[in-house]
Amino acid sequence: MDYITSVSKPLLVVGIAHGEPIAIFRTFIMKNVSLKDIAQKVGTSISTVSFVLNGKEKQVRISDILAKKIREVAKKEGYLPNKMAIGLKTGKSNIVGLVVDTISGRLFAALAEVIEKELDNHGYKVIYCSTGNNAKKGKELIELLYQHQVDGYMIIPAEGMEKEIGQLEEQGKPLVLIDSYFPKLKTAHVLVDNYGGISDAVDFLVKKQYKKIAFVYNDVAMIQMKERKRAYQEKMKGAGIKPLADWLLKVPFADAGEEQALKIELFLKKVQPDAVIFAANYLGIHGIEAIHNLKLKFPADIGIICFDDHEVFNLHQPAITVVKQPVPELAKTAVAILLAKLRKEPSSAPDAVEIKAKLIERQSTR
């Protein structure tokens, strides 16, 4: 087993902005140190060092004095075990790979915080990866995590990753999908009740006497957005309101924020709805910008509901009515399912879980 240490002389790196120092970082050069190096420092054999550093000195009758000396030298020199080498030997890394669509997204940040804490309580660390909603990158990240022998996978899947996720499932890898899933696969998944959340939003607006309700969504061809769109169309018809095709706007996910805001602005100017449902929080943020540009007031001129909450929505005046995802419950449920798979135990939760969202009424609807 190899060990890694960082005992070389530190280098000071200074960041400069406009001629002024902005930060100082201490950087260490890493080098590989073999068991042979450790044995030479102590004056013993490689096998003896290996047994001690793996806590097996009692099994092979190594003296307490020698074991203590080996550990003291290791501690003094700052030796750290090579986790990959240990993983190759034991088949267990105690690492979980978390793959999301975007690291900057609020949903990811909230999920990651809970997931990391829950897994840490059970002795697992987390490696974070972001696909940028790009299938090719998603495939590469799954391959990378596989090569690093992570014990389990938690994935917010992008369109086009179905084959790779199916292969992990076929190989019996502990795996849970979050926020979405592929209907043709039987992969364990945890997500919000997307259909129910938008249904509640439509029912709420209809009861408030809104008639011309527009719907803004993105072009991500995954189950969650399909369910939100389906709920809007079916609930509107169920309320006796037949939405025109012009009442729906599909915004490309890849568009920059200013492009999305402009498209929403042109859409609202043309359709002139009395209310609008935004199917994602970032669309809601750009929607607020578009409404301000049109010099409209809400709720006086237009009502707003957004699927999923955001700090901006509560701070904005008037505050924005939302369908809030139960992020802590989503994360804890996903972790519970994954831990059961890692331990090869029955899970207290089923492999397919939909958790109800909560409509929070604020001042953006009359």
Contact 120, 98 (CB under 8 A): no
CB 116 within 8 Å of CB 140: no
- What does pTM read for this prediction? 0.78
357 and 306 Cβ atoms separated by less than 8 Å: no
In DSSP notation, 244-257 reads -GGGEEEEPTTS-H
Angstrom distance (rounded) from CA 191 to CA 217: 18
CA dist 233 and 235 (Å) reads 6
Exposed/middle/buried for residue 71 (C-beta within 10 Å: 0-12, 13-18, 19+): middle
Domains of the chain: 3-89 (1.10.260.40), 90-192+328-355 (3.40.50.2300), 194-325 (3.40.50.2300)
332 to 69, 96, 102, 264, 328: CA distances (angstroms): 43, 15, 20, 35, 6
Q: Are the CB atoms for 39 and 46 separated by under 8 Å?
A: yes
Instruction: Provide the β-strand partners of residue 25.
Output: 13
Strands 31-33 and 3-5: antiparallel
Residues 34 and 85: beta-carbon distance below 8 Å: no
Q: What is the pLDDT along the chain (366 residues), one digit of tens a residue?
A: 443 334 333 444 444 444 444 444 444 444 566 677 788 889 999 889 888 887 778 888 899 999 999 888 887 776 766 655 555 555 678 999 999 988 777 788 899 999 999 999 999 999 989 998 889 999 999 999 998 889 999 999 999 999 999 999 999 999 999 999 999 999 999 999 999 999 999 999 999 999 999 999 999 889 999 999 999 999 999 999 999 999 999 999 889 999 999 999 999 999 999 999 999 999 999 999 999 999 999 999 999 999 999 999 999 999 999 999 999 999 999 999 999 999 988 777 678 999 999 999 999 998
Contact 308, 323 (CB under 8 A): yes
Give the number of C-alpha atoms closer than 13 A to the C-alpha of residue 340, restricted to the C-beta side. 15
- Residue whose pair of structure tokens reads 């992008």 in the numeric block: 158
Tell me the sheet residues that pair with 113. none
User: Can you list the alpha helix ranges (DSSP code H) found in 121-222?
Assistant: 135-147, 162-170, 194-207
Contacts of 5 (CB under 8 A, 6+ apart): 30, 31, 33, 77, 78, 79, 80
